[in-house]
Amino acid sequence: MPVTRSKEKNRAQYIAGIAFTVAWLVFIPLSKNLFINAEDRLQSLISIMLPVQPGEPSVAVVDIDDSSLHTVGQWPWPRYILGNLLNALRRHSTQVIGLDILFSESDRTSLDYIRQRYKTEFGIDMSYIGVPKGMLDNDAYLASVLRNKRPVVGSVQLKLAHHHDTTLIPPYVTANHIVPQAESIIKNIPIINDALTRNGFVNFFNNQDGILHSIPMLIDTPEGVLPSFTLAMLMEKEHVSKIKIEDSFWGCVINVGQYKIPIDNEGRAWLNFYPNDNNYVSVPAAAILAGTPITLPEPFILIGSTAAALHDNVMTPSHRNTPGVGIHATLLNNIINNQLIIHPVWILNWHELTCILLLGLTNILYFKSVSFAQRTFTVLLSVLLAFAVMVGALYFYNIWLPVIYCIPGMLILTFIHEIIEYIVLRKNLSIWKEDLENTNHALLHAMAAICDTRDPETGGHISRTQHYVKCLAEWLHEQGHPEAQSPFFVDALFHAAPLHDVGKVAIPDSILLKPGRLTVEEFNVIKSHTSIGKRLLSDTADKLREPGIFLRCAIDIAGSHHERWDGKGYPEGLTGTDIPFSARVMAVADVYDALISNRVYKEGMSHEQAAAIIAENSGLQFDPSVVTAFLHNGETFQRISTLFMDE
């Protein structure tokens, strides 16, 4: 039968395709965190591989680097040095300055502090000669510089809540949105904090993969909603006291004067990291203190440290260790150049829509029985197009539209459909093979019957001997005979038995149909039917790539079923186990049927008489093990002879 599409296959494809599609759509919202690490890594990999230029640097980092520490002294510096650094910067520019340094304790190098310690611990009241009053307290000196050199934005650290609660933003902004919560604030000491223009938090939060991808813009604190360090600098530049969060097609946007900051549902801005470090200008702090003439870019200056000893580094997609001040600089450049990555608020709908389209396309390919090559090409093309949309949206519009759900779903669904195709194909092939084998057996039986009809006295001989050998083979297999243990032996012997006399087709009618006894010459011609049958079947086997057990069994039976255990048989005079086992089984069945059947020259014997003759020839003409099997199945042989009696 041809292997065609069946109703069973149609039904299986429909049920599997629709069931998996529905299950996958239900799975998406329930497993939103399952692929989040892979999604973040994929976004980072694509963003740093794309040829994105950071634009003209708009941020200068005054770096307290290792060389500056070596020149000026180890950290922490006395705060009058930082005051001098601010004075030097103001001689160069009027940008908004951000201090990525937290002054949570008083400066212990201040002369006032040292005098107080000596008085408390040793009872010594020290005095200083020639020191201006303003230089006795380093904190006061730095505070006076901060007040005179505005605008300077300071930084604070937040201690986040242990749980993951969020809160609605109060009237600090003009819309209600959800932001994370903090338990407490670590501030600068009051004298410095009051001198700063404003503050922002400098906390970073790595994603689940341990890499920094985004920064929260707002966090709720016990003192109200606090902006991030970067957002505070933008507010200072734009002279904004309140920010506005607006809804757009893509989601939430923070408006700060001329700048728009897209944020996700949790108030985070997603950074677009560059494969190199040319997105900001870095100047050693020691060079500024030394008075080196330097032109710094507008409109922001960040004072921070990249010194390895200060351990202010985070893991980013483009670099293993990036200093915190570099993260702030990157974020500022992203905002100024409109290069922040947009995470749409409807990303879950995007996942479901792409899954419906791609999984639906996959189902249609199999429902319509598209060829393997066509459906493979279509699936691969769809995957490539999905990736192209994702990469194109990120490259041209900085919009992240991941296909992290639809592509795995499409590949899994394809695998399921291919499994169904394979199972149905195997089933159809099995049916086709069974039909072919049945047809072959029918043709061979017809061939054997043609040979047997030339001898009208043996009409039932084929059917009887076929069932005799099956009975013997089954019993020997059950008894564990070593030559009868092949799982296909019984079936092969059953179907091969009718061909044992196929060589008689070449025997002349004058000899084959002779009613009386044969002469020696005529008997020799009759004996040649074994060699002829073996040659005919062997020629057939030679035309096959690999003959099966059935044909090999038929060759052995046709050529050797007249061999004797004692070597006195024909045509080759084989002895004992040199005779093929199938032929030894056939010999007992053939002789038994000849003994009990009527011939023109004799009357048929009874079962008992035939059994006695076979038993007497055990070890002479017949294999003793086969004779034993015959004697244990005498009643079965009698039933078979009665069931297939000659008419």
Q: Give the pLDDT of residue 192.
A: 94
CB-count exposure of residue 487 (10 Å: 0-12, 13-18, 19+)? exposed
Answer whether residue 173 shows pLDDT above 60. no
Answer whether residue 312 shows pLDDT above 50.
Answer: yes
Lowest mean pLDDT among 55-59, 226-230, 571-575: 55-59
CA distance 47 to 317: 9
- Please state the rounded mean pLDDT for residues 164-189: 65
- pLDDT band at residue 447 under the 50/70/90 scheme: low
CA 560, 562, 563, 568 torsion-angle sign: negative
Q: How many helices (H) and strands (E) does the chain have?
A: 22, 18
Q: Beta strand pairing status for 218-221 and 224-227?
A: antiparallel
Which pLDDT belongs to residue 4? 44
| Cβ 412 vs Cβ 16: under 8 Å | no
pLDDT at 201: 94
- CA distances 20 to 205, 410, 412, 413, 426, Å, are 37, 10, 9, 7, 23
3 state SS of 183: strand
The crossing angle, in degrees rounded to 10, of helices 347-367 and 406-452 is 20
Cα 351 to its chain centre, rounded Å, is: 18
- The neighbouring-strand residues paired with 178 are 168
What span, in angstroms and rounded, lies between the C-alpha atoms of 647 and 363?
A: 61
Length of the chain: 647
Specify whether the CB–CB gap between 306 and 314 falls below 8 A.
no
- Reported as a single tens digit per residue, the pLDDT across 566-591 is 999 999 999 999 999 999 999 999 99
pLDDT digits (tens, 9 = 90+) for 106-151: 999 888 888 888 888 888 888 877 777 778 899 999 999 999 888 9
| Cα 158 from Cα 199, distance rounded (Å) | 12
Assess contact for 325 and 316: CB atoms under 8 A.
no
Q: Is 262 strand, coil or helix? A: strand
When pLDDT is cut at 50, 70 and 90, the band that residue 627 belongs to is: very high
Has residue 175 got a pLDDT over 50?
A: no
**Integer angstrom CA distances of residue 323 from 79, 144, 164, 445, 601:** 22, 29, 26, 88, 113
pLDDT score of 280: 83
pLDDT band at residue 172, thresholds of 50, 70 and 90?
Answer: very low
User: How many Å apart are CA 98 and CA 146, to the nearest integer?
Assistant: 11
Phi and psi of 109, rounded to 5°?
A: -95, 0
> What pLDDT is recorded for position 149?
83
Q: Could you tell me the two tokens for 35?
A: 């692929």
The answer on pLDDT for 100 being more than 80 is yes
pLDDT band of residue 600 (cuts 50, 70, 90) is low
Q: Which has more confidence, 2 or 569?
A: 569
pLDDT (mean) for 290-314: 82
- Alpha helices by DSSP H, listed for 453-488, are 461-478
Task: Output the DSSP codes for 190-249.
Answer: HHHHHHSSEEEE------TTSS--EEESEEEETTEEEEBHHHHHHHHHHT-SSBEEEE-S
Residue 455 pLDDT class (50, 70, 90 cuts)? low
Looking at residue 571, its pLDDT comes to 93
Determine what percent of the chain is predicted with pLDDT higher than 70.
Answer: 87
Q: What pLDDT is recorded for position 519?
A: 86
Percent of the chain having pLDDT more than 90? Answer: 38
Select the highest-mean-pLDDT range: 214-228, 365-379, 494-508. 214-228
Does this model's pTM top 0.85? My answer is no
Mean pLDDT of the chain: 84
Joined tokens for residue 364? 């249609």
User: Who wins on pLDDT, 25 or 460?
Assistant: 25
368 to each of 5, 221, 364, 373, 376, how far by Cα in Å? 10, 60, 6, 14, 14
Query: Could you check whether the bond before residue 151 is cis, i.e. omega within 30 degrees of 0?
Result: yes
**2: pLDDT confidence band, cut at 50, 70 and 90?**
very low
More confident residue, 167 or 141: 141
On the question of pLDDT at 275 being above 80, the answer is no
The residues near 206 (Cβ < 8 Å, ≥ 6 apart) are: 212, 314, 315
- Tell me if 100 sits within 8 A of 328, measured CB to CB: yes
pLDDT at 25 > cutoff 80: yes
Reply yes or no on whether the pLDDT at 22 is more than 90: yes
Report the SS3 class of residue 347: helix
Most confident of 55-64, 240-249, 379-388: 379-388
Predicted confidence at residue 171, as pLDDT, reads 40
Block residue for tokens 């794309």: 50
What are the φ/ψ torsions at residue 563 (nearest 5 degrees)?
-75, 155
pLDDT of residue 19: 93
Average pLDDT over residues 611-617: 94
Mean pLDDT along residues 374-379? 89
Three-state SS for 3-62 is: CCCCHHHHHHHHHHHHHHHHHHHHHHHHCCCCCHHHHHHHHHHHHHHCCCCCCCCCEEEE
Q: Are 165 and 81 spatial neighbours (Cβ–Cβ below 8 Å)?
A: no
Q: What is the mean pLDDT of residues 359-387?
A: 88
Q: Are 152 and 197 in contact, with CB atoms under 8 Å apart?
A: yes
Close Cβ partners of 337 (under 8 Å, ≥ 6 residues apart): 54, 55, 58
Q: What is the mean pLDDT of residues 302-321?
A: 77
Q: Tens digits of per-residue pLDDT, 488-536?
A: 788 888 888 888 888 888 888 788 777 777 888 888 888 898 998 889 8
Contact (Cβ atoms closer than 8 angstroms) between residue 312 and residue 243: no
Q: How many CB atoms lie within 10 A of CB 215?
A: 25
